[in-house]
């Protein structure tokens, strides 16, 4: 299909071919974001022969590739006291980032909990070390393109494309940590996207600025929203409210989380649609430049700042959510639910990126435990013998 030309054919048939077998593993993890790092490390710690497949040349997922640079959900407000509640592989990663000098002290968020910023370069190096120290094999620059099935409920191989061409990786268990549920979708797993009307959380093009005079900027995360409101009174338009402009480890460098990228219908860009995602990258960078000009012009301390990084990709919050044996709900988060098959916990509230705004819903503070458990059943898709999903494509409601 041509990109901008009118195609004369609606499809072509590719010739059948033999695909080289590129390896055989007990566990194959697709995607090297936070979920993939934890899944691959945990499987290797249990003595499995593990391969992690990642399309970029580094780990971290949205945390590095989309410039997120800040951990949320490690802490929770436990009956009025803010504590770190997520440990395990996360502790190993945090310690290694800290040893590289790339970890901030936790900072308060809306007076209710903590988040913790980090440097992207330190995260990438620390994540390599987490996996390699446990014996995980990593295949970078490898795009998963399809699966081959043994039976309708059993996956035999993951097909990947690299600079060496296409190859088939045989596995006993497959864990889809692609964020988009690519592997599960290739295998035919059922999934949902968005709310009942198909509205997904809006994506954001993050960016970081350097050369900030932090003494002058002060607590700019409090004053910038007021500056934006004043500008709006003069007719300036912003993509969304709820700007997050915060310092990184080195006080001259700040991250900016403020853009909101829509498709031509005004809905969230669907990052499983190649054309929408491509257009979204351009629109995200355009919004980043526009907001940066506002910062330089109006925010104290930013007059001599410059953009030090626009990340490799648009920050995607939601695409496919695979339907599993349990679907985690908003009520589970708000009521701090327990499960008999718990495999982890979440300390973050509901952060809903709706058109033009960010809407928060919190568990009761200080009356609740502040975090919910995560059941193993949300990792196991309906109808498969050797497939698990983890991270943002796991089984949960919009």
Ligand X SMILES: Cc1cc2nc3c(=O)[nH]c(=O)nc-3n(C[C@H](O)[C@H](O)[C@H](O)COP(=O)(O)OP(=O)(O)OC[C@H]3O[C@@H](n4cnc5c(N)ncnc54)[C@H](O)[C@@H]3O)c2cc1C
Considering only the stretches 133-141, 192-200, 213-221, 312-320, report the one whose residues sit in contact with ligand X under the rule CB under 6 A.
Answer: 312-320
The reply on whether position 62 binds ligand X by CB under 6 A is yes
DSSP category for residue 364: -
The reply on whether position 347 binds ligand X by CB under 6 A is no
| Partners of residue 25 on adjacent β-strands | 171
Among residues 213 and 376, whose Cβ is nearest to ligand X?
A: 376
Among residues 136 and 316, whose Cβ is nearest to ligand X?
A: 316
Site string (155-194) toward ligand X, x via CB under 6 A: ----------------------xxxx-x------------
**Pairing of the two strands 254-257 and 70-72:** unpaired
Among residues 213 and 281, whose Cβ is nearest to ligand X?
A: 281
What is the C-alpha to C-alpha distance for residues 205 and 316, in angstroms, rounded to an integer? Answer: 9
Cβ-based neighbours of 146, under 8 Å, separated by 6 or more: 159, 186
**Near ligand X by CB under 6 A: residue from 71, 118, 191, 384:** 71
**Near ligand X by CB under 6 A: residue from 45, 100, 143, 307:** 143
> Environment class of residue 297 by beta-carbon count within 10 Å: exposed (0-12), middle (13-18) or buried (19+)?
exposed
The string of DSSP letters for 135-202 reads: T-EEE-S-EEEEEEEEETTEEEEEEEEETTEEEEEEEEEEEE-SSS-HHHHHTT--EEESSTT-PPPP
Report yes or no: 207 and 67 within 8 Å, Cβ to Cβ. yes
Among residues 73 and 344, whose Cβ is nearest to ligand X?
A: 73
Give residues 225-254 in contact with ligand X (rule: CB under 6 A).
none
What does the block give as tokens for 179? 């964020």
What does the block give as tokens for 74? 């490690």
Give residues 313-342 in contact with ligand X (rule: CB under 6 A).
315-317
**Near ligand X by CB under 6 A: residue from 55, 134, 240, 321:** 55
Among residues 113 and 178, whose Cβ is nearest to ligand X?
A: 178
Under the rule (CB under 6 A), what is the footprint of ligand X?
30-36, 53-56, 61-63, 65-66, 68, 70-73, 115, 143-144, 177-180, 182, 203-204, 206, 257, 315-317, 391-392
């Amino acid at each position: 299909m041509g990109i901008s030309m009118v195609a004369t054919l609606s499809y072509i048939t590719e010739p059948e071919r033999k695909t080289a077998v590129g390896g055989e593993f007990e566990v194959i993890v697709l995607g090297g974001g936070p979920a993939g790092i934890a899944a691959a490390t945990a499987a290797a710690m249990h003595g499995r022969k593990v391969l992690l497949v990642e399309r970029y040349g580094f780990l971290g997922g949205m945390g590095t590739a989309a410039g997120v640079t800040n951990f949320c959900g490690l802490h929770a407000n436990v009956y009025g006291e803010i504590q770190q509640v997520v440990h395990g592989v996360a502790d190993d990663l945090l310690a290694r980032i800290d040893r590289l000098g790339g970890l901030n002290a936790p900072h308060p968020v809306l007076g209710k909990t903590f988040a913790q910023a980090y440097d992207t370069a330190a995260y990438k190096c620390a994540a390599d070390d987490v996996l390699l120290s446990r014996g995980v094999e990593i295949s970078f620059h490898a795009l998963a393109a399809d699966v081959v099935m043994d039976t309708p409920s059993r996956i035999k191989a993951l097909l990947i494309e690299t600079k060496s061409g296409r190859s088939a990786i045989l596995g006993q268990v497959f864990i889809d940590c692609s964020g988009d549920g690519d592997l599960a979708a290739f295998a035919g797993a059922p999934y949902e996207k968005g709310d009942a009307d198909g509205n997904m959380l809006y994506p954001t093009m993050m960016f970081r600025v350097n050369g900030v005079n932090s003494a002058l900027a002060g607590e700019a995360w409090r004053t910038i929203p007021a500056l934006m409101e004043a500008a709006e009174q003069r007719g300036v338009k912003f993509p969304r409210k709820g700007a997050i402009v915060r310092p990184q480890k080195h006080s001259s460098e700040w991250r900016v989380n403020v853009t909101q990228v829509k498709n031509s219908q005004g809905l969230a860009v669907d990052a499983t649609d190649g054309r929408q995602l491509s257009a979204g990258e351009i629109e995200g960078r355009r919004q980043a430049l526009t907001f940066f000009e506002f910062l330089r012009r109006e925010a104290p301390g930013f007059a001599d700042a410059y953009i030090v990084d626009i990340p490799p990709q648009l920050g995607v919050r939601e695409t496919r959510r695979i339907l599993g044996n349990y679907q985690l709900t908003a009520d589970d988060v708000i009521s701090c639910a327990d499960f008999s098959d718990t495999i982890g916990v979440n300390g973050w509230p509901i952060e809903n990126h709706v058109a033009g705004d960010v809407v928060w819903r919190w568990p009761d503070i200080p009356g609740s435990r502040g975090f919910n458990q995560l059941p193993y059943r949300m990792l196991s898709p309906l109808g498969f013998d050797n497939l698990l999903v983890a991270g943002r494509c796991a089984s949960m409601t919009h």
